[in-house]
Structure 1
Amino acid sequence: MFRPLNLTVTTRRTAPSCARGIELVLKCLILVASLCVVPSVSAHQDHGQASLRGPYPAAKQYAPTPVPDRLCLSWSSDPATTMDVCYRTDAGVTQTLCEWAIGRDLVGNASTGGIQDAARTQGINEPFVTNAGPCRMHTVRLQGLTPKTRYAYRVGDGVNWSPWNHFSTASDSAEPFEFLYFGDAQNAVRSLWARVRREAHNDAPRAAFALHAGDLINNANADGEWGEWHEAAGWLNATIPTVATPGNHEYALAIGRRKLSKHWRPSFSLPTNGPEGLEETCYWFDYQGTRIVSLNTNERLKEQAAWLDNTLTELPPARWTIVTFHHPVYSAAKDRDNPEVRALLKPLFDKHRIDMALQGHDHAYARSGLGGPEAAATVGTHNVAQGVRGQNGRTVYVVSVSGPKMYPLTETWDASRVASGTQLYQTIRIERDQLRYRAYEASGELYDAFTLQKSSPGEVLLKEEIPATPERRRNL
């Protein structure tokens, strides 16, 4: 802002040359004042000028620095006694440290930001080159933790640290808990998926973990898209563990065949107890009496089916078992079908009495009753020849989407609840004899609900609790 010029000019009626001189001075002062004001007016009037520069490059927006970013919690071992932290720095940081303490015992130093008597664990790191340039990926594995305990932690190199965050270890026995389930985020993640992730946190602020059924991003090795995914979740990834299974968009063509994104394993630290070569994509773990299994439906599915059968046969039975994978057994989208997935997995789900299958891929929503459609009617180019929901088995099949990309619905199988053109997230609460499922729209409105009730012999009853919210069947 410019102050107005306060000029006082005194003239006398003398020679004409003097008057002309004063007039010339005044004109010069007016010209200078107008030049000072012009840039301010132009900035207010020309709103389109900035757009000529184009979008700010992702390589700059998500450039690594010496300060840790992209923090993400996950487990490679027992959730009751371990926690893994993955993060990123610039390529020059070669030290990987984690300081941690029991949260309630925290005594912070106001000058240094440190915590008195915090334990320190050294992790591992590796140089990593993306399409945006070099960086370094870090992993710290905390072990020997106390079950059912809240910890505070930070990561860094001893000089540059992340903020202190909290996480909680699981109980070492069967206890109630709640987790979040997201279908494909994939597109416009920063712009349009961020609100879904944050709204979900409002409904389940103490979620044990966030489960992602594949296609977290659109282009497997685009660093900017992984930057969007981490930014959209923000600090939530640093305090709520991620459980992820890969989708087809986590794969990219390399040397003649499709390969898993090189971002996958450095970004997460997941179990390696699946078939060799499918580490951290096909795996299982138990959480407070519930068994969670991830299958990688992008490759070697027959081998995984045999592994699943053997694993569930050899392990002691869990009260609840949930399987997540990307390509649906029963597709929700029009003109889509996965007959190999169905032929290999449906009989195993029936045999081992799987409670829920949490899937993605179809960019629509569909949720079955117990057992899904009739098994005998699931052949051909569509999922079901006639829309009949049977009771063959006890698995509830869910296909969901959390991002903005949408496909039209199939009309070939009878689902309890469907939606098209609707971003959704799900909360699932598990107790000893009850599983409570809720699906919400991005705005937080309840869209679908049911409860599974399990008797002592293991028999299951599904109680429909669909709200009065109108069904979303948008023309796409």
Structure 2
Amino acid sequence: MPAALAARMTIAEQRDWVRGFLRARPVSRRGAMRGAAGALAGLGLVGGLGSALAACGTSSGPAAGPGAGAAPAALPGVTGRRLSFGADPTRQMAIAGELTVKPAGKVFIDYGTDTGYGATLEAEVRELVSQVPQQDGSIRAADQFFVHGLAGGLEPGREYHYRFRLADGWTGPDAAFRTAPAGRAPFSFTAFGDQGVNVPKPQLNGFSDEYYKPGDDRRTATPASSLVSLITKKAPAFHLLAGDICYANPSGDGQPIRNNAPKDAESGFDNFDPTTWTAYFASIESSAATTPWMFATGNHDMEALYDDNKSGGTRHGYGGHLARLDLPATGPHGCPSVYTFRYSNLGVLSLDANDLSTEIRANTGYSGGAQVDWVRRTLAAMRADPNIDFIVAFFHHCAYATSKSHASDGGVRAALTPLFDEFSVDLVVQGHNHQYERTNPIRAGRSVLAAPDGATIRPETEGTTYICVGSGGRPRYSWQDGVTDRYRGNTGPDSGTMVNSFLNTSDGAKTPETVDWSQSRYLDYAMLSVDVVPGAAGADSTMTVKTIADTGQEIDSVTLVRRARGGGPVALGGSGWSRTSSGLSVPA
């Protein structure tokens, strides 16, 4: 697009112009693969996983010449397999992957209680074309094909095997998963946020998210990958990711896309690399192919490229997620990453803090209050259900955290914490700040009691525990001046639980505050490993939250206790798929 023309257009007008340009100048998949060879090599995807990116090329420039050489021929198959719960985790499992080439025919998922399978469903193929404007006026395009199927009618608490199969005869490897139990049974889950990908990838000019600091000698060389390895070994019932998933959008401001912008270029644009999603799904497959990964959205997950904040029934840059992710459609209309599910005696809420943030305002207020209204109704229903003992909420921007970077978000705190107080939410998992920090139990903004490492807390009377675990792999942040780490095994100075920090307020200011709740802090890479043990009616149920560093060392723990009220199974309804206005489908 000529620069002078682009300067007079909105991003929506530019998108329409680009679509017309590409329709008039079609690029063959073979030519696109030639153009993509350099990008694939930079991602470490040439050969093997190299076929995972179906097509990527520069559409507005000349085709590669005869001497340029061709990219390796892509072989048919499925990579980046991953699971997520349907609306009813006892009877449904969403199964997804990414095709390495455009399918020549139908794609199938075989599943059953053993490797004889016995049941087959036809997978839905969702094509995602990413037309990425470049600073020089060209367009770099990626054509990806994601496959999705919803296995329903399953039996609770049972192991199932599955595999992908293509019409041309290709058959994928076997994997297995287990549905949620019908009644109350012990289980474990894991959680972190702000993960990214620990593989080499092309560096866009401008903002980079590869700013690891020297002297960071407590972490492994590849923290995101190391944490996945720990999760794979533990094999939890599910994993929660509190936003900022893969960092395909490294700047995270929710702005229109224009790549390779130098640091002194026009402001107001984000870089974006859709191939990062391919590398990301491959990097988590060792766990996600057998363990449901449940995602919340963070600021780096707002991708205006696909929908100009409009398609797929959304208005906030989540159109690409509708092609890649399966999220239970149990939340309010128009909020695709807001949902709930139940597992044994635990109720879980995924919330979208982008709607509430006063710090990063690209999506602030998009739900018109519908999300907060839904949170109130959902929490009230959970507390009225005698089969639910514990409630966990997870989202991105922090209601309570300290750091030099983002610290606490005033909009999130104002919208959610009064509800968490009212309905006695047990645990809140947050991201955004690249660190680990656990609060004392909080009510009305203050510590109710001191809860050091190993403490036991009764949330019904002692408040909600907030944990920032944005320590999933991206470069670490720093504490406020004079604030130090505070965790099991730390031999350094202890700056205590009362520290200085700030609150992002509605006028964009960072309002200083002194907090009394910062109980445990670790400025490196870690995840939560949570063991839930339901009690019989009238006895205690426990939820033990352990913090595991990427080296495998346990550095903190706390146990939450509630008196169990009931013991019957949890029954949830809902099945099938619903089609959105963009032509994509999502689980319903």
TM-score strictly above 0.5: yes
Superposed CA offset, 1:309-332 (max 9, x none): 022224543211100000010123
**3-state SS, counterpart of residue 370 of structure 2:** helix
Distance 1:296 1:349 in 2: 15
Which of 246, 266, 274 is the matching residue for 2:331?
Answer: 274
Q: Deviations over 1:270-310 (max 9, x none)?
A: 1112111112x000011112101000111236331111002
Question: What is the one-letter code of the residue matched to 2:185?
Answer: E
Question: What residue number does 2:111 align with?
Answer: 100
**Partner residue, 2:273:** 222
- Match for residue 125 of structure 2? 125
Q: RMSD in angstroms over aligned alpha carbons?
A: 2.7
Kindly indicate whether residue 379 of structure 2 is the aligned counterpart of residue 312 of structure 1: yes
Task: Check whether the contact 2:421–2:464 (CA below 8 A) recurs between aligned residues.
Answer: yes
Compute the displacement of 1:55 (Å).
8.2
Deviations 1:256-277 (A, max 9, x none): 7683344422222111121111
Q: CA deviation at 1:169?
A: 0.8
Tell me the SS of whatever aligns to 1:231: helix
Preserved contact between residue 409 and residue 419 of structure 1 (Cα < 8 Å): no
* Structure-2 residue corresponding to 1:303: 370
Alignment of 1:170-185 (within 5 A): 170-185=180-195
- Does the 8 Å contact 1:125/1:137 carry over to 2? yes
Cα distance change on mapping 1:263 and 1:455 into 2, 3 Å? same
**Number of the residue aligned with 1:283:** 339
Do structure 1's residue 231 and structure 2's residue 246 form an aligned pair? no
Instruction: Output the CA distance in 2 between the equivalents of 1:436 and 1:376.
Output: 23
Q: Deviations over 1:353-387 (max 9, x none)?
A: 11100010011111012126x5279xxxxxxxxxx
1:415 corresponds to which of 503, 509, 518:
518
Q: Which amino acid counterpart does residue 326 of structure 1 have in structure 2?
A: H
Q: CA deviation at 1:95?
A: 1.1
Q: Which moved more, 1:437-446 or 1:313-322?
A: 313-322
Residues in 2 aligned to 1:98 and 1:405: alpha-carbon distance in whole angstroms? 38
- For 1:388, the equivalent position in structure 2 comes to none
- In structure 2, C-alpha distance between the alignment counterparts of 1:92 and 1:351, rounded to whole Å: 51
Contact 2:543 2:559 in 1 (8 A): yes
Matched, 1:152 2:219: no
Aligned partner of 1:126: which letter?
R
CA contact (8 A) 1:434 1:454 kept: yes
Structure 2 equivalent of residue 397 of structure 1: 466
Structure 1 CA distance for aligned equivalents of residues 349 and 171 of structure 2:
34
- Structure 2: state its 5+ residue gaps: 1-37, 55-74, 132-140, 201-221, 250-271, 310-314, 356-365, 448-458, 481-498, 501-514, 535-540, 567-588
Alpha-carbon separation, structure 2, partners of 1:429 and 1:355: 14
1:178-202: CA deviations, max 9, x gaps? 0110121135467541112102333
| Change in CA separation of 1:99 and 1:92 when aligned onto 2, cut-off 3 Å | closer
Q: Is the 1:66–1:93 contact (alpha carbons within 8 Å) kept by the matching residues of 2?
A: no
Partner of residue 56, structure 1: 41
1:369 is matched with 440
Report the AA paired with residue 140 of structure 1: G
In 2, the alpha carbon distance for the partners of 1:394 and 1:76 equals 31
Identity between Structure 1 and Structure 2 (%): 22
Aligned equivalent of 2:79 = 69
Instruction: Identify the residue that residue 78 of structure 1 maps to in structure 2.
Output: 88
Structure 1 contact 91–136 (Cα < 8 Å) conserved: yes
CA contact (8 A) 1:297 1:327 kept: yes
The alignment status of 1:91 with 2:102, answered yes or no, reads: yes
Partner of 2:206: none
Name the SS of the counterpart of 1:417 in structure 2: strand
- Cα displacement (A) at 1:127: 1.9
For 2:521, the aligned partner's letter is V
Is contact 2:198-2:225 (8 Å) kept?
no
Contact 1:424 1:440 in 2 (8 A): yes
Q: In 2, are the aligned partners of 1:275 and 1:282 still within 8 Å (CA)? A: yes
- Alpha-carbon contact 1:73-1:268 (below 8 Å) kept: no
- Deviations along 1:171-222, one digit per CA (max 9) or x if unpaired, are 11121110110121135467541112102333x23x1011100111222452
Amino acid at match of 2:42: P
Q: Does 1:134 align with 2:143?
A: yes
Q: Distance in 2 between matches of 1:69 and 1:187?
A: 16
Residue 322 of structure 2 aligns with which residue?
Answer: 265
Whether the 8 Å contact between 1:96 and 1:140 is mirrored in structure 2 is no
The answer to whether the Cα contact below 8 Å between 1:196 and 1:442 also exists between their aligned partners in 2 is yes
Structure scoring higher RCO (CA < 8 A, sep ≥ 6) equals 2
Please point out which of 220, 235, 241 is paired with 2:292. Answer: 241
Structure 1 runs not aligned, ≥5 long: 1-52, 107-114, 378-390, 459-476
The 1:183/1:233 distance shift into structure 2, 3 A limit, reads same
The aligned amino acid for 1:125 is V
Contact 2:232 2:286 in 1 (8 A): no
Question: Does the 8 Å contact 1:189/1:217 carry over to 2?
Answer: no
**Structure 2 contact 197–283 (Cα < 8 Å) conserved:** no
Q: Secondary structure at the match of 2:440?
A: coil
Could you tell me how far apart the structure 2 residues matched to 1:256 and 1:264 are?
13
Output the CA distance in 1 between the equivalents of 2:105 and 2:93: 21
Deviation, structure 1 residue 138: 1.3
Aligned-residue offset at 1:227: 2.1
Tell me the residue number matched to 2:544.
Answer: 436
Alpha-carbon offset, residue 137 of structure 1: 1.6
Residue 383 of structure 1 aligns with which residue?
A: none
**Contact 2:439/2:519 (<8 A) preserved:** yes
Question: C-alpha distance in 1, partners of 2:379/2:544?
Answer: 24
Q: Which of 1 and 2 has greater Rg?
A: 1
> With structure 2 as the length reference, what TM-score do the two structures score?
0.60
Q: Deviations over 1:85-132 (max 9, x none)?
A: 0112122344121111213xx4xxxxxxxx3x6211122222221365
1-structure distance, mates of 2:280, 2:126: 21
In structure 2, what residue type is equivalent to 1:124?
Answer: E
Work out which of the residue numbers 417, 425, 429 in structure 2 matches 1:354: 425
Q: Distance in 2 between matches of 1:101 and 1:92?
A: 24
Q: 1:29: which partner in 2?
A: none
Against the structure 1 CA distance between its residues 269 and 193, is the aligned structure 2 distance closer, same or farther, given a 3 Å change threshold? same
Deviation of 1:149 (Å): 0.7
Q: 1:123 to 1:231 in 2, by over 3 A?
A: closer
- Shift of the 369–57 alpha-carbon distance from structure 1 to 2, 3 Å rule, reads same
CA contact (8 A) 1:95 1:157 kept: yes
The answer (yes or no) to whether the contact 1:184–1:361 under 8 Å persists in 2 is yes
Task: Indicate the residue corresponding to 2:412 in structure 1.
Answer: 341
Alignment length (residue pairs): 379
Q: CA deviation at 1:161?
A: 2.1
Q: Is the 8 A contact 2:399 2:410 kept in 1?
A: yes
Q: Check whether the contact 1:366–1:398 (CA below 8 A) recurs between aligned residues.
A: yes
Q: Distance in 1 between matches of 2:475 and 2:197?
A: 6
C-alpha deviation, 1:80, in angstroms = 0.7
CA, structure 1 residues 223+368, in 2 after alignment: closer, same or farther (shift >3 Å)?
same
Please give the TM-score of this superposition, normalised by the length of structure 1. 0.74
Residue number in structure 2 paired with 1:166 = 176
Residue-by-residue CA offset, 1:26-73 (whole Å, 9 max, x unaligned): xxxxxxxxxxxxxxxxxxxxxxxxxxx998233753424420111110
